[in-house]
Chain A
Amino acid sequence: MLEAAITKQLRDFTLDLSFSVQPGEILILMGANGSGKSTTLNLLAGLLSPDTGCIRLNGTTLCEPRLGTHIPIEDRRIGYVFQNSAVFPHMTVEENIAFGLRARRLPKAEIADRVCQMIDLMHLSDLTHVNAGNLSGGQKQRVALGRAIAIRPSLLMLDEPFTSLDAESTGTVRNLTRTVVSTFKIPCILVSHHSADSREIGDRVLQLRSGKTVWEGSPQNIPDDEAVCRCR
């Protein structure tokens, strides 16, 4: 389970959030551009440090500035999928998925097993040896998801993963995301602008505005005025 209560002074406002995510739950972070969604993910990943507060993952404190605790990014076991997928274009699909496992110095046999498992799970069997730079947007996002899950993360975070995908790829990646979150029973945070994403795979929605939670609830009950704001 992820528990976070953090503050961070940003240029235009103070981000002040408190939330938790249960294993197997998908929390959708919604809000206008610049409301603090991606910053929140970066704080959880360790790419940024909060000013105050505490981040706990499965009972382990990842960060607590008051006590000087700050677990390095590479030791947090957080799978992070970026909007642009950030697949390494100079590596094959297989090498991309194996990257985190090699970095963690897992035994070769285990690396091979996990890579095979991820390639099957993400339906990438035909693309194993293809250079990742030559893949379509949807294929790249599947590689990125498989790569993030391969390290057996304790938390999965996706930052607007469907933005540049067509309807078919969006559906595929949404389903795969739901599958891996349920299969591996990990908490998941997904940043999205679209209420359709929330309704399709979200369990709970957190609406942010200027770094604060302005609404929290079920994806089916997202207030209309918020939806209107987003459409604008």
Chain B
Amino acid sequence: MTSSGRIPEKYRRILSYGAAGLLILIVTLYLVLPVIALFFRTTPELFLASLSDPLVISALWLSLTTSIISLAIVILVGTPFAYVHSRSTYPGKVIVDTLIDLPLVLPPAVAGFALLVLYGRMGLLGQYFNMMGISIAFTTLAVIMAQIFVASPFYLRQAKSLFEQFDQSYEHTARTLGASKLRTFLSITIPLTASGLVSGAVMTFGRALGEFGATIMFAGNLPGVTQTMPLAVYVGMESNFNLGLTISILLVIISFVIMITVRLVTRNEVHHA
């Protein structure tokens, strides 16, 4: 305290600005440099040539289709779930609240292992599916299930919080005007929470697209069947570095687009709470 008292105000300000600037620079570079490094390890020609590789195409196609299906299921089931959950009081609600957040803190490999224990050929439920001739583990369905398990909390948390904070006088007004519960939900609640729901959906899509641990444990790594982009990066790193690089760059580009979309959507968000 005594030493800072002796430094003139002008230098103290320069020092504090300098320290703050350095801190921002270090943190930003730490997070961005590895991503930038990816782009320096390839050339546009090599990148474009690798894009037509069957491994890249099948991984890209599988990742996009499974992530879109996962997202659609999460939205279709998660939206009514989050609405009912946020609007009702029932015994064990706090427990349900905690349980649906569990996949967020659970290591993805554990999530995949748990799914395998439940739905695998000898699993608790899987054995019965197996008796009916249905096998889940190590199929594309398993990829989707792993993605839903790991990514759905992003959407559920967002939707739950939106519905909890939503000003119910809009819904009450719609009901007194003659709208049914369903019409009120579809024409009032959903449009007025849409921007928040979209940002939750985009985050869910991004998480599903990047899913690795649970997928490799539960669905395996079969090209064209369960080998999504993150898994193809892993394979590429071991066998064909350029392919791994190309897929990584593709994932970076998609992630960047997702990030920009979320920022744009949330920037225009209107709060009706």
* Chain A residues engaging chain B, CB cutoff 8 angstroms: 42, 45-47, 73-76, 78-80, 82-84, 86, 88-90, 99-100, 103-104, 133, 144, 147-148, 151
Q: B179: which of A83, A84, A103 is its contact (CB, 8 Å)?
A: A103
Q: Are B172 and A86 in contact (CB under 8 A)?
A: yes
Contacts of B177 in A (CB 8 A): 74, 99-100, 103, 147-148, 151
User: 11 interchain pairs (CB within 8 A)?
Assistant: A42-B172, A45-B176, A73-B172, A74-B178, A76-B176, A80-B176, A84-B167, A86-B167, A89-B272, A100-B177, A103-B174
Q: A84 to nearest B CB, angstroms? A: 6
Contacts of B175 in A (CB 8 A): 47, 73-74
Known: A47-B175, A73-B172. 7 other contacts (CB 8 A): A78-B176, A80-B176, A84-B169, A86-B173, A88-B174, A103-B177, A104-B178
Q: Please report the C-alpha to C-alpha distance between residue A84 and residue B169 in the assembled complex, in whole angstroms.
A: 8
Q: Are B178 and A86 in contact (CB under 8 A)?
A: no
Does any Cβ of A come within 8 Å of B191's Cβ? yes
Q: Are B172 and A151 in contact (CB under 8 A)?
A: no
Contacts of B170 in A (CB 8 A): 86, 88
Q: Which residues of B246-273 are within 8 A (CB) of A? A: 270, 272
Q: Please report the C-alpha to C-alpha distance between residue A86 and residue B172 in the assembled complex, in whole angstroms.
A: 9
Known A88-B188, A90-B191, A151-B178; contact A80-B183, beta-carbon cutoff 8 A: no
Contacts of A89 in B (CB 8 A): 192, 270, 272
Does any Cβ of A come within 8 Å of B42's Cβ? no
Q: B174 to nearest A CB, angstroms? A: 7
Q: A189 to nearest B CB, angstroms? A: 13
Contact with A along B173-215 (1 / 0, CB 8 A): 1111111100100011001100000000000000000000000
Q: Please report the C-alpha to C-alpha distance between residue A77 and residue B74 in the assembled complex, in whole angstroms.
A: 37
Contacts of B174 in A (CB 8 A): 88, 99, 103
Q: Please report the C-alpha to C-alpha distance between residue A15 and residue B136 in the assembled complex, in whole angstroms.
A: 57
Known A45-B172, A90-B192, A99-B174; contact A74-B270, beta-carbon cutoff 8 A: no
Q: Are B176 and A99 in contact (CB under 8 A)?
A: no
Q: Are A103 and B183 in contact (CB under 8 A)?
A: yes
Q: Are A82 and B272 in contact (CB under 8 A)?
A: no
Q: Please report the C-alpha to C-alpha distance between residue A46 and residue B175 in the assembled complex, in whole angstroms.
A: 10
Q: Please report the C-alpha to C-alpha distance between residue A82 and residue B188 in the assembled complex, in whole angstroms.
A: 16
Q: Please report the C-alpha to C-alpha distance between residue A74 and residue B180 in the assembled complex, in whole angstroms.
A: 7
Contacts of A103 in B (CB 8 A): 174, 177-180, 183
Q: Please report the C-alpha to C-alpha distance between residue A228 and residue B177 in the assembled complex, in whole angstroms.
A: 37
Contacts of A46 in B (CB 8 A): 176
Q: Are B173 and A82 in contact (CB under 8 A)?
A: yes
Contacts of B178 in A (CB 8 A): 74-75, 100, 103-104, 151
Contacts of B180 in A (CB 8 A): 74, 103
Which residue of chain A has the shortest Cβ distance to B176 in the bound complex?
Answer: A80
Contacts of A79 in B (CB 8 A): 176
Q: Please report the C-alpha to C-alpha distance between residue A78 and residue B179 in the assembled complex, in whole angstroms.
A: 12
Q: Please report the C-alpha to C-alpha distance between residue A99 and residue B191 in the assembled complex, in whole angstroms.
A: 14
Q: Are A80 and B173 in contact (CB under 8 A)?
A: yes
Q: B270 to nearest A CB, angstroms? A: 6
Q: A186 to nearest B CB, angstroms? A: 14
Q: Please report the C-alpha to C-alpha distance between residue A147 and residue B272 in the assembled complex, in whole angstroms.
A: 19
Q: Please report the C-alpha to C-alpha distance between residue A133 and residue B170 in the assembled complex, in whole angstroms.
A: 13
Q: B38 to nearest A CB, angstroms? A: 41
Contacts of B183 in A (CB 8 A): 103
Q: Are A82 and B172 in contact (CB under 8 A)?
A: yes
Which residue of chain B has the shortest Cβ distance to A159 in the bound complex?
Answer: B169
Contacts of B187 in A (CB 8 A): 99
Contacts of B270 in A (CB 8 A): 89, 133
Which residue of chain A has the shortest Cβ distance to B171 in the bound complex?
Answer: A86
Q: A188 to nearest B CB, angstroms? A: 14
Q: Please report the C-alpha to C-alpha distance between residue A96 and residue B178 in the assembled complex, in whole angstroms.
A: 13
Contacts of A47 in B (CB 8 A): 172, 175
Contacts of B188 in A (CB 8 A): 88
Which residue of chain A has the shortest Cβ distance to B174 in the bound complex?
Answer: A99
Q: Please report the C-alpha to C-alpha distance between residue A84 and residue B178 in the assembled complex, in whole angstroms.
A: 20
Contacts of A90 in B (CB 8 A): 191-192
Contacts of B191 in A (CB 8 A): 90
Which residue of chain A has the shortest Cβ distance to B181 in the bound complex?
Answer: A74
Which of A46, A74, A75, A76: most chain B CB closer than 10 A? A74
Which residue of chain B has the shortest Cβ distance to A80 in the bound complex?
Answer: B176
Query: Top 8 nearest A-B pairs by Cβ distance?
Result: A100-B177, A103-B178, A103-B179, A86-B169, A80-B176, A86-B173, A73-B175, A82-B169
